[in-house]
Amino acid sequence: MQKRIDTPEIQAFEKEHIGKVRALAPECMVLLKNEGVLPLQGTGKIALYGSGARRTIKGGTGSGDVNVRHFVNVEEGLENAGFEITTKAWLDAYDQAVEEEKTRFFRELRRQADEAGANPVLFAMGRVAPEPAYEFPLDGEGDTAVYVLARISGEGSDRGKEEGDILLTGTEIRDILALKEKYARFVLVLNTGGMVDLSPVKEVPAILQMGQLGSPSGDVLADVLTGKSYPSGKLTMTWASIESYPSTEGFGDPDDTEYKEGIYVGYRHFDKNPAGVIYPFGYGIGYTTFSISELSLKKSANIVTVSAAVKNTGDFAGREVLQVYYSAPEGKLDKPVKELAAYAKTKELLPGETQILEASFAQNDMASFDEESGCWVLEAGEYKILAGADSANTGFAGTVAIAETVITEKAWDESAEAKPSAKPQTSGAISWEDVKAGRSTVEEFADSLTDGQLAYLCIGAYKDAEDIMEVIGNASTAVAGAAGETTGYLKDLGLPGIIMADGPAGLRLSRKYVLKDGEARGEMSLGGDMMKVYTPEELAAMVPAGNTEDKVYYQYCTAIPIGTGIAQSFNDTLAETLGDMVGSEMEIFGIHAWLAPALNIHRSPLCGRDFEYYSEDPLVSGRMAAAITRGVQKHPGRAVTINHFACNNQETNRYFSNSILSMRALREIYLKGFEICVRQAQPHFIMTSYNLINGVHACNWRYLLTGILRCEWGFKGVVMTDWLVTGGMRNSGGKWPCASAAGNVKAGNDITMPGFPADRKDIVAALSDPAHPYALTRADLLIPARRVLGMILKLV
């Protein structure tokens, strides 16, 4: 039951959740270098510089943002810890320079949007103002300096290979190197959601990848700098020069992006082509050191288990990650040098303490996909099992011998699928109350509906006017700021709706709202700087109409670490705990389905949404998503929506970008994480991606949604589209057409979100026109309708 909070006072759950994030987030941080600088000894005066010092980034833009009550930046966090900031003048001067640059930048964007006749917010989505050039005195008092380098990215725009993004600016390089010489102790902190090329400043003595840690970010950093806590994360993406990634060539093509590297993504590529690597996959050090020894292997039936003795050999407490890889024999199929098979993290180990750690995986997990036969095959030969602290430092644990090639699984055969059938509409009204009371079944309720009513169930709760801004991130009438709902056109039968909220770093809702005419109306906020394209007068007009005597309600949610940060913990229990926390806030605010987690592969550092995603490795991605899913769905009536299925690896022209790749790469790299999550945790929803895959929109591809997802993996839930894929964003003159709502039904994509009148017309037309590209029967329509009804019964 939704709880309406009518006081602005901070709630007990907020304090609890922020405290929990603060305690867990150090595990998400990666210490890249430390020459005796960290942890700092005591507090006192500190010189604080950099783009993220006061303007700290807690998460990305777009759907990745969370509207929190308060966010602790680095400046505040250090002051909370007892430091005296001696660089207020520098921070003030930087603020002024940034605001001047942003004003210029967004005025120009607005001009361009008006000239193009485009919605200014959608035109500006994901765009980031460039870093200004400046030269301010580096004269802060104290022996210690911290420089916080920040980068932000988000939905709608990709990152660039230029200075101020992947590359450092000349100003940043100059100041970082000068600070290294000026101060006795200097720490470079990376407040980034992804890779930056540190080649020009790699000689600095201490580099800490803080990441973007949610609500208590500044406090978390202060805890780690002072040794109150310690970092124990590992990189989930190889950091290398941008030119050395095979995905850089051709990235961002507006029509067709060729995945020429095939299965050789991330460390799978760099193991064979190491030039350019700055930090390998799985790398991260701590305030202490560890040894990994006594590697051994045992096999029981189909399960392979590696054991190791992990000892803390240093002077501080810490935690280490055991990473297990397999090296497959060359056979008919070419193979990477090694692939991650399992991982496990120690408990906190005190100096001198040892833990015997085990990590297990199924033998069949080493199978490869053979396109010729359409099967997963475990080729004959010796599989070497390796284990260590990162992908570049492993030892031999043993060998698994496969005497002869084994087919472990066959791909879906559409010709063997039974054709759907349906009875005509049954007579006699059935109410939803009859279903809830057990007097009628979901199937009987669906059979009693007209074709038009069934069509409504396959579309979100759209409004009659095709106003895009009514459905971008603020479409719900039940919960202010929620992203959308299932249809409301069957309310006369008593059918409630499923309410959905954006993610993935917490719930994104309106902070304040009023109730007007039975609807929750709140402030509009899309996060980041996108709203700067509007004038003050336009922003004032967006405030929901109401009287001063209207009762105001509050929805302050907690921002958790970004997806990459969570994965860097290599701790499934941590991820599940954060999911549990989000699930409890869903209960409080009346949200049924969280539009998260996102688990697309880090194919390239240039992808604007990499910060939302977990890793370049599908095992890490799948296990983290499964853990989050378990955490959320342990709360009755709450669901996750894993996304974006599949190959959502660039934001440029994302509605009409065609990902061209082999079936082997698709299966082994880009679908494997989703498969792991489905098989381990059964998420209630999956969201399809905007892009096309080999010329077919993901939401219209039956082989993907029915064959692989349901028939091979056993998915039992509901599939929905991402917002506006069927035409809200027109592709005038582009190569590829919009997706089809009727095509969604045909493919197994149950709900088209958020829905427009044109989507219903498309479905109804497909029912009556055999020549429609996606001609439908009533039996076709009943399949998704029953799934949606079944999920409403489960959740609401």
Give residue 506's pLDDT band: very low, low, confident or very high (50, 70, 90). Answer: very high
pLDDT band with cut points at 50, 70 and 90 for residue 422: confident
Over range 642-648, report the average pLDDT.
97
The 10s digit of each residue's pLDDT in 423-452 is 788 877 899 999 999 999 999 999 999 999
pLDDT value at residue 410:
96
List the structure tokens of 314. 């240093």
Furthest-apart CA atoms within the chain: distance in Å? 84
CA distances from 473 to 455, 510, 583, 702 (A): 23, 10, 19, 28
**CA separation for the pair 209, 316 (Å, rounded):** 19
pLDDT tens digit sequence for 15-49: 999 999 999 999 999 999 999 999 999 999 999 99
Tokens of 609: 């949404």
Count of other CB atoms within 10 angstroms of residue 384:
17
Residue 285's pLDDT is 98
Decide if pLDDT at 732 tops 70.
no
Asked if pLDDT for residue 546 goes beyond 70, the answer is no
Identify the band that residue 748 occupies on the pLDDT scale cut at 50, 70 and 90: very high
Give tens-digit pLDDT for 78-87. Answer: 999 999 999 9
CA dihedral 277, 283, 285, 291 (to 10 degrees): -120
In this predicted structure, the answer to whether residue 470 has a pLDDT above a threshold of 60 is: no
Distance, in Å, from the CA atom of 399 to the CA atom of 404, rounded to the nearest integer, reads: 15
Please answer whether residues 175 and 169 qualify as being in contact, where contact means their C-beta atoms are separated by less than 8 angstroms: no
Task: At 458, give phi and psi (nearest 5°).
Answer: -90, 10
Residue 128's φ and ψ, nearest 5 degrees, are -125, 130
User: 61 falls in which pLDDT band (50, 70, 90)?
Assistant: confident
Predicted TM-score (pTM) of the model is 0.96
User: Once rounded to an integer, what is the mean pLDDT over residues 551-563?
Assistant: 97
What average pLDDT does the structure give for the chain?
Answer: 94
Element (H, E) at 186: strand 185-191
- 298, 320 Cβ separation under 8 angstroms: no
User: What is the band of 545 on the pLDDT scale with cuts at 50, 70, 90?
Assistant: low
Note the pLDDT tens digit of each residue in 318-356. Answer: 999 999 999 999 999 999 999 999 999 999 999 999 999
Tokens describing residue 450: 């007209």
Helix (H, G, I), strand (E, B) or coil at 655: coil
Each residue of 655-691: pLDDT tens digit? 999 999 999 999 999 999 999 999 999 999 999 999 9
> What pLDDT, on a 0 to 100 scale, did the predictor assign at position 531?
76
704-736 b/e (C-beta count within 10 Å ≥ 16 → b)? bbbbbbbbbbebebbbbbbbbbbbbbeeeeeeb
pLDDT tens, 370-387? 999 999 999 999 999 999
